[in-house]
């Protein structure tokens, strides 16, 4: 009985939809109005070129920081626990692979303070997956391999004027959160 009602409802919806879009029922004024409200693909994005053709896309030189690691100024996070931007030059450090991760040379917690670098947070040393009944496992000083690819979340910051003004103002729970993470505390907040 329920299946009959569902089938009947779907058929009715289909009839109404087809009836509403049938060209015979659309007035000339309505078609003219639709054409007037039409937005060309070239007008949708910021690049003002066809979104269907990648052959004419030009990437202009983007000025990234050329400051050496350790000499750059930290960039405030965009919101609570946002991955921090990379404030220094990454020439020769990318791509990061399982066999080559130069970030850990300065950002591992045991050396970060001496290097003047932001230490990798505790969340990166925790297996958060529920594997074989585990609820989350502290890996001590071993970096969780699901987090080894730093550039998956962290990116160099380009020095550009934004094309669209951003009025977003972050509301940090803690003033220190502008430059450090408490993600593992937030994750564990409701977990007992």
Report the pLDDT value the prediction gives residue 15, as an integer from 0 to 100. Answer: 47
Residue 133's domain comprises 63-169
Cis link prior to 37 (omega < 30° from 0)? no
> Contacts from 35-39 at CB under 8 Å and sequence distance 24+?
none
Between 119 and 14, where is the model more confident?
A: 119
Residue 120 lies in a domain: yes
Residue 112 lies in a domain: yes
- The tokens for 5 are 């009602």
Residue 97 lies in a domain: yes
Report the pLDDT value the prediction gives residue 164, as an integer from 0 to 100. Answer: 82
Q: What are the beta bridge partners of residue 120? A: none
What mean pLDDT, rounded, does the chain reach?
Answer: 79
Kindly report which listed range (61-75, 79-93, 133-147) carries the lowest average pLDDT score. 133-147
Residue 152 lies in a domain: yes
Could you give the percent of the chain with pLDDT greater than 70? Answer: 69
CATH number of the domain to which 162 belongs: 1.10.1130.10
Domain tally for the chain? Answer: 1
Our CA angle for 146, 80, 117, nearest 5°, is 65
CA distances from 80 to 44, 92, 94, 175, 186 (A): 31, 30, 26, 10, 10
Report the pLDDT value the prediction gives residue 146, as an integer from 0 to 100. Answer: 87
Residue 15 lies in a domain: no
- The tokens for 185 are 């505390």
SS3 call for 41: helix
Say yes or no to pLDDT of 19 above 50: no
Mean pLDDT for the stretch of residues 128-154 = 81
At 150, the pLDDT band (50, 70, 90 cuts) reads: very high
- The tokens for 32 are 């003219």
Report the pLDDT value the prediction gives residue 83, as an integer from 0 to 100. Answer: 92
Say yes or no to pLDDT of 176 above 90: no
Residue 22 lies in a domain: no
**Cα–Cα distance, 10 to 49 (Å, whole number):** 40
**For 26-53, what is each residue's pLDDT tens digit?**
566 666 666 677 777 777 766 666 777 7
């Amino acid at each position: 009985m329920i299946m009959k009602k569902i089938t009947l409802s779907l058929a009715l919806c289909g009839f109404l939809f087809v009836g509403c879009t049938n060209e015979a029922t659309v007035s000339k004024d309505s078609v003219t109005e639709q054409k007037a409200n039409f937005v060309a693909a070239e007008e949708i994005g910021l690049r003002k070129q066809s979104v269907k053709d990648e052959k004419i896309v030009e990437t202009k030189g983007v000025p990234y920081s050329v400051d050496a690691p350790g000499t750059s100024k930290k960039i405030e996070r965009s919101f609570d626990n946002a991955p921090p931007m990379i404030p220094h030059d990454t020439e020769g450090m990318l791509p990061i692979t399982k066999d080559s991760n130069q970030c850990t040379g300065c950002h591992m917690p045991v050396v970060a303070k001496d290097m003047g670098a932001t230490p990798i947070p505790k969340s990166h040393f925790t297996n958060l997956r529920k594997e074989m009944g585990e609820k989350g496992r502290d890996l001590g000083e071993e970096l969780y391999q699901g987090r080894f690819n730093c550039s998956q979340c962290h990116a160099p910051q380009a020095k550009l004027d934004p094309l669209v003004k951003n009025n977003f103002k972050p509301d940090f729970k803690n003033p220190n959160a502008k430059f450090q993470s408490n993600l593992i505390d937030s994750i564990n907040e409701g977990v007992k």
